[in-house]
Structure 1
Amino acid sequence: MLEKTLQEQYGEMERYSVPLVEVVEEAVAKFNVSTNSVINFGCATGLTSFLLSANFEKVVGIDFCGRFLDTAMKIQKGKVVEYGSRQVAKLPSQSQPSRVQFQQLTWVPNELEGFDVVVFESVERLSEPRGWLYKLWEVVLPGGLLVFSSSHSSWNPSHTLSFVGQWFSLKKTTTINGRSVSVWKLKEVKCE
């Protein structure tokens, strides 16, 4: 699984990770969202997190797989990580690795809050996605964004709506290399 993920992320970055980050950057500009902080759930071996570091001051990459995170941290430190037939996973040239912090989590704890943007990738890898999705509104700052991506057809925007629609409104949908990508904006909370 590690080899496959490295190939998908670093060997084919132009097919998915780069366009995904472009969707994030366009949404941030369109909705005038701060670039102080972003959290990347499902970061795997870190490529999306590294790409996000070019424009965000603080990037937190989260995954439940320790082996993926160990690999991401090796890449972050500039160590040689080979995969496939002698291919090497390298930091993207525009990345700012010192802005990236990786954490291993099995669910979204109460302490994670205060992010301008949440990028949620590969929900299909989780055994219990509801526990992650129901807390996202607490993680995002007012006016912030959720960018949701999945390669599994059942995680289309209308299905995702049933989990996050109470707190987020759908702003954009697109497809990147067979993955459904949707952009959601945190709804205004009105106190009465």
Structure 2
Amino acid sequence: MLVKDMMHPAVCVTPRDTLATAVRKLAHEHIGCLPVCDGMRPVGMLTDRDIAIRATAQGRDSNEVTVREVMSVGALCCSTTDPVEKAAQLMHLSHLRRLIVLDRRAHVIGVISASDINGFLSEPRPFEVVFYKEVLDHLGHTHRSQLMRISMAHGTREEAVRAAILEFEETRRVNHWNALADGYDVVSVRSNS
């Protein structure tokens, strides 16, 4: 499944908006974050935590404070065409709960959160593709060292392998998977239900 299938439409603020305006949007939309945009381009993220720690706890007047003063600069983004697993991995590695979603023109169009994808990621997967590197131990015996394990939710075995190879190459930033890995195994995952 792709990010575009799980994201929520973005509700944005500008850096010049007051914090009071941002708080009203958060409350009205029942959300916990707002991408901060200059036009359609992301410049940061404003979360309920930013407001609590950087403004409310300091006793600042939300009608006088701008979003720019409180927002987190340089919010991480993903693409609408990224696999959900890739977005989850980026959140995990960055210790974040939300990502801004960009279209192909790098315009903000949505937000995806860890809570959006937690249920999806906990579902059983029909295939796992395990990329490995062959290494020699001190006795000269070959062993397989796992480089990455990728779960694929849908499709045939061949489709799972193609999608896993693309994800491996994007994540590891290589032009071809065998530049890093010596091979891969495909494991059929059985559901316990």
Which is greater in Rg? 2
Normalised TM-score (structure 2): 0.25
